[in-house]
Amino acid sequence: MDRLEGKVAIITGGAGGIGAAVAKLFVAQGAQVLLADIDEQALVQVCREIGSNNVSYCVVNVTDAQDNLAMVETATQRYGGVDIFVANAGIEGDVASIVDYDEARFDQVMAVNVKGPFLGLKATIPALQKRGGGSVIITSSIAGVKGGAQIAPYVTSKHAVIGLMKSAAKELAGEKIRINTVNPSPVETRMMRSLEEGMAPGAAAQAKASIEASIPMGRYAQPDDIAKVMLFLASDDSKFITGSVYMADGGLTA
């Protein structure tokens, strides 16, 4: 089924594991996709792997308002508009106590993980309005609904985007613009390799085993597991759903 036939999607963090999986699935379902990321080399590689004329990229710093506006303009010029915005770009920050956490690093986490989606919404809303509606999906985390020792800035940022999503959903429901979050458990991506090493320097494998043991389904999510939830929220199958938090966590927060 081509569940996204005729739709145009922008995906930030498009060079990462989740972003790439979402792009691949969206293209397979008929969408034209613009990948946005700060890493051009990785963007080129993802586009090559997908191997379709319906995917392209632009280099974007999501913390910069002008870059976000240019991203939307690029999608409009190449594909005619925007129907779906996946605000997926994010960074994990450091593993450190609140007392020891570097202030500049805190600012960076908040800029990418909170200001980024805010500026993305600010830039894409007018384009979605021109299409008569659309879907926005923000990547949060299980850290958006529970605490986490040694990663307070990351947890704070992922709680914050749920507030952003709920506010935007209320504001834009009358214009048929739907906004939801997807909240993954640990996913098999570079980010988790970094966090595992930060939690247990030199013993990342043991850290991963401990985390997996806490997940009722006994494993990390695969990027495609998250992509399939986002496909549902991007498609008309979820046309009456907005303001919702979608846990994709193997039962971890049950």
Specify the pLDDT at position 189: 79
What is the identity of the amino acid at 112?
V
pLDDT of 99 reads 98
Q: How sure is the predictor about 183, in pLDDT bands with cuts at 50, 70 and 90?
A: very high
101 given a catalytic annotation: no
pLDDT tens for residues 110-155? 999 999 999 999 999 999 999 999 999 999 999 999 999 999 999 9
Tell me the C-alpha distance between 109 and 16, whole Å.
Answer: 16
Q: Give the pLDDT band of residue 43 (cuts 50, 70, 90).
A: very high
Catalytic residue among 57, 79, 101, 154: 154
Bridge-based pairing state of the strands 134-139 and 84-87: parallel
* pLDDT of 30 above 90: yes
Ramachandran region of residue 8, left (φ > 0), alpha (ψ -120 to 50) or beta?
beta
At which residue do the structure tokens 């986002």 appear? 230
pLDDT value at residue 15: 95
Say what the pLDDT of residue 199 is: 80
Give the closest residue to 50 by CA, choosing from 85, 24, 78, 69: 24
What confidence score (pLDDT) does residue 200 get?
81
Report percent pLDDT > 90 for the chain: 87
- Please determine, for residue 95, whether its predicted confidence score (pLDDT) is greater than 80: yes
Tokens of 82: 């925007």
55 pLDDT band, cuts 50/70/90, is very high
CA–CA separation, 144 vs 16, rounded Å?
Answer: 20
Q: Is the pLDDT of residue 9 over 90?
A: yes
pLDDT tens for 208-219 read: 888 888 899 999
Average pLDDT, the chain: 95
Q: Contact, 53 vs 33, CB < 8 A?
A: no
**The pLDDT of residue 201:** 85
pLDDT band at 197 (very low <50, low <70, confident <90, very high): confident
Domains of the chain plus CATH, in order, are 8-184+222-246 (3.40.50.720), 188-220 (no CATH)
User: Residues of the chain with pLDDT > 70: what percent?
Assistant: 100
Rounded to 5 degrees, what angle do the CA atoms 153, 193, 119 make?
A: 45
Angle made by CA atoms 198, 17, 37, in degrees to the nearest 5: 95
Which SS3 state, helix, strand or coil, does residue 34 take?
strand
Q: What would the pLDDT profile of 97-106 be if each residue is shown by its tens digit?
A: 999 999 999 9
3-state secondary structure 5-33: CCCEEEEECCCCHHHHHHHHHHHHCCCEE
CB atoms within 10 A of CB 122: 14
pLDDT at 190: 80
Q: Which residue has the higher pLDDT, 108 or 186?
A: 108
